[in-house]
Amino acid sequence: MAIPFRRRKFEIEPLARQDARALAQLLLEDFIRPWTDGEFDTLLQQDPVFGFIARESGNPKASPGGFVLARLA
């Protein structure tokens, strides 16, 4: 029996410091030692660090669907 899958649409936006808490919450789902919102905030203050967050279209209060975080080297 197939499990129904609801296709969702996302908007991709640049990460901002105010996203730190949402990122930390997302990592709680799968990591033994997830980063804290403070750790994300510290990273996002650094000039070479950037990223993007996927937010469900039309549902700004939903938890993010994912994110990409990178450091320019």
Q: State pLDDT tens for residues 13-30.
A: 999 999 999 999 998 888
Handedness of CA 26, 27, 32, 35 (dihedral sign): negative
Q: Quick one: pLDDT at residue 13?
A: 93
Q: Quick one: pLDDT at residue 3?
A: 67
Which helix (H) or strand (E) segment holds residue 11: the answer is: strand 10-14
For residue 61, how many C-alpha atoms fall within 13 Å in the half-sphere facing its CB?
Answer: 0
* pLDDT of residue 5 exceeding 80: no
Burial class of residue 65 (count of CB atoms within 10 Å of its CB; 0-12, 13-18, 19+) = middle
Minimal CA–CA distance to 8: which of 62, 48, 44?
62
Q: Quick one: pLDDT at residue 30?
A: 85
Q: What is the pLDDT of residues 27-72, one digit of tens each?
A: 888 888 999 999 999 999 999 999 999 998 888 777 888 999 999 9
